[in-house]
Amino acid sequence: MVIDRVDVHLIRIPLHHSFRTSMGTMAEKTAVIIRLQDSDGVVGYGEAPAMPNATYTEESAFSAFQCCTRDLAPLVVGRDFTSAEALLDAVQPIRGNRFAKTGFETALWDLLGRRCGEPLSVSLGGTRTRVPVGDSLEIADSLEALLDLVDLRLSEGYRRIKLKIEPGWDRRPVEAVRQRHPDLMLTVDANAAYTLADSALFEAMDELELAMIEQPLAFDDLLDHSILQSRIRTPICLDESIRSLADTRLALHLGSTRIVNIKTGRVGGVVESRRIHDLCAANGIPVWMGGVFETGIGRSFNLAVASLANFSLPADMSPPLMYFESDLVLVPFQIVDGYVDVPTGPGAGFDVDVDRLAFYTDEHSAFTVSDPA
């Protein structure tokens, strides 16, 4: 089985509303969608769910598109892969660029699963059949608007609420939500907006009984996180700082984090996600599946990974149509009673809407094996 054809699509989908965090305001959904086709005509799709700008990690969807077309596709087309690990070996010469690699790695998982008719969660050894979900709430225009949105999400069944915070929007909104919902599983996410000089703020937050504080400090500073964690009772959960198994080993060694947010895209794919999951499980560190506003394609891989046993906390798994004008899969997943079912179809278990993929494609490159002369 040889990868005969690679298609790289840069997609851009309008949002219903922009989404504001300490990283800035996101105005559109972007991603790179990878389509792999093998010599038997079997097709797999994957998603590199990178943001419009390099504000979350060093990659943007535009840089990921460049990496996919210039660096990765030539290493993949014409090759025969029997496992995701073999593909990761082939792209190993390319440094970093984990979102871009995830596009290819997930597409191969989907293709291999379709070839043998096995759902990805089964291939991975997942045990959960459904995943509890929480929502991530943007920085609101007012306290009233925030409180109304929390009420709405709780009425929709969400099992955890995460508030995006930044300097000037932290103590007051978090206190207001806690006062109104004393028993809610409540978390905050700073997306690296603070420094150790803000320790007093986080010490004061201990009394709000947050389930975790996500990435309070710089994206690349494990040492400061370990110092902050030693000063507060609330668990720190690293997001941006965990790019790999090696980062996770160091963070656990330093005591920089007590919970780990795993995102398939941020860590370079399903294989690395499972390695991080296994290491955390062995060390008694709970993990949960984060998100980067994936389409239904990327969310399906996240759901399969989140079927692993140590994914014990609610995932960021709101339906793409809550944010985007349109999704790229034919059948969007539903939240039922605060849970989303793990897909059971072959591969990642979705069907791509090829017309919508074409409609939202801004740039496209195709690679084929040239026929021998």
| 60 binds ligand OSB per the rule CB under 6 A | no
| 264 binds ligand OSB per the rule CB under 6 A | no
β-bridge mates for residue 163, sequence order: 137, 188
Q: Is residue 263 annotated as part of the catalytic site, yes or no?
A: yes
Taking the least distance from each CB to ligand OSB, the nearer of 49 and 347 is 49
Taking the least distance from each CB to Mg ion, the nearer of 47 and 214 is 214
Measure the CA–CA gap between 47 and 11, rounded to whole angstroms. 10
Residues 322-341 that bind ligand OSB (CB under 6 A): none
Of the residues 133, 292, 308, 328, which one makes contact with ligand OSB according to CB under 6 A: 292
Span from 99-107, 248-256, 289-297, 306-314 in contact with ligand OSB (CB under 6 A): 289-297
| 56 binds ligand OSB per the rule CB under 6 A | yes
Of the residues 60, 191, 241, 273, which one makes contact with ligand OSB according to CB under 6 A: 191
User: Could you tell which of ligand OSB, Mg ion, none binds residue 136, using a CB distance below 5 to 8 A set by kind?
Assistant: ligand OSB
Q: How many CA atoms lie within 13 A of 270 on its CB side?
A: 33
Residue in 29, 101, 162, 263 annotated catalytic? 263
| 189 binds ligand OSB per the rule CB under 6 A | yes
User: Could you tell which of ligand OSB, Mg ion, none binds residue 318, using a CB distance below 5 to 8 A set by kind?
Assistant: ligand OSB
Residue/partner pairs of 351-355 with CB below 8 Å, 24 or more apart? 352/45, 352/297, 352/328, 353/327, 353/328, 353/329
Q: Are strands 315-316 and 130-137 parallel, antiparallel or unpaired?
A: parallel
Residue in 29, 101, 162, 164 annotated catalytic? 164
Q: How many CB atoms lie within 10 A of CB 323?
A: 17
Q: Minimum Å distance from CB 136 to Mg ion?
A: 8
Query: Any residues with CB less than 8 A from the CB of 89 and at least 6 apart, and which?
Result: none
User: Could you tell which of Mg ion, ligand OSB, none binds residue 210, using a CB distance below 5 to 8 A set by kind?
Assistant: none
Q: Are strands 236-238 and 259-262 parallel, antiparallel or unpaired?
A: parallel
Of the residues 113, 216, 290, 296, which one makes contact with ligand OSB according to CB under 6 A: 290
Measure the CA–CA gap between 293 and 296, rounded to whole angstroms. 9
Q: Minimum Å distance from CB 209 to ligand OSB?
A: 21
| 316 binds ligand OSB per the rule CB under 6 A | yes
User: Could you tell which of ligand OSB, Mg ion, none binds residue 109, using a CB distance below 5 to 8 A set by kind?
Assistant: none
Q: How many CB atoms lie within 10 A of CB 352?
A: 18
Taking the least distance from each CB to ligand OSB, the nearer of 97 and 215 is 215
Query: Any residues with CB less than 8 A from the CB of 2 and at least 6 apart, and which?
Result: 38, 39, 78, 79, 80, 369
The site for ligand OSB, by CB under 6 A, has a size of: 11
Taking the least distance from each CB to ligand OSB, the nearer of 58 and 71 is 58
Q: Which residues bind ligand OSB (CB under 6 A)?
A: 56, 136, 189, 191, 239, 290-293, 316, 318
Question: Catalytic positions, please?
Answer: 164, 263
